Amino acid sequence: MNAVRHDYTATQEDCSPPVISVIIPTLNDERRLVPTLASLVSGAADGIVIEAVIADGGSDDGTEAVADVAGCRFLRGPADIGDRLAAAAGGAKAPWLMFIRPGVVLDEGWIRDVHGFLDQVTRRQEAHRRAAAFTLGVDDYGFAAKAKLARARWKFLLGGGADPRQGLLLSRDHYRAVGGHRPGPDSESALARRLGRRRTLTLRSRATQVAR
């Protein structure tokens, strides 16, 4: 990543341009982390991503080395993913947070979509109540792939929240207001459910899990 790091201490409606801290939870994800960070490089070059934070749960592979080479901030935390994500969010430098899983790759046009979302909610002063997720992509073809997408769409429409593989973008103040990530293995999905579909916009760009 090697983004220039600044200290943004508060969410500001007139922040121009809005900037993001990307938070990635890892546990022995050396191989999966590489394509995810590669898809974020354009965000660092654009200036919209000011840091990538690796919230690690005790990896004993090369995850930390990959993070170091990419210029990420590496935080070794508790095994519980909810506690790790909450700790990383609490120390994030940007007023906007983007959570993404290792092994997930964003479409090339993701920066344009994110800029559009941030500009819109900032202009309308809705940063405190709007979140966004990417469209779920599947690195596969055929009926099984279509079935996965259909299940994710129905889950979202029925109030189950965005799939964690879609990533999640929201302001730091909004994150705190809804209680952030709580302890437990279902922490990511639980946060998405609390946000709900009415407050979560699905961006056109896809988030596709390409490494498992």
Average pLDDT of the segment spanning 3-11: 40
Give the separation between CA 149 and CA 209, rounded to whole angstroms. 12
**Could you read off the pLDDT of 188-210 as tens digits, one per residue?**
999 999 998 888 999 999 999 98
Average pLDDT of the segment spanning 65-74: 98
Q: Catalogue all structural domains in the chain, each as residue range(s) with its CATH number.
A: 20-209 (3.90.550.10)
Q: Give the contacts of 126 (CB within 8 A, at least 6 positions apart).
A: 120
Q: Are 15 and 122 in contact (CB under 8 A)?
A: yes
**Could you read off the pLDDT of 89-123 as tens digits, one per residue?**
999 999 999 999 999 999 999 999 999 999 999 99
Residue 180, pLDDT score: 98
**Could you read off the pLDDT of 143-192 as tens digits, one per residue?**
565 566 556 565 665 556 789 999 999 999 999 999 999 999 999 999 99
pTM tops 0.95: no
Comparing C-alpha atoms, which of 120, 187, 200 is closest to residue 153? 200
User: Is the pLDDT reported for residue 31 higher than 70?
Assistant: yes
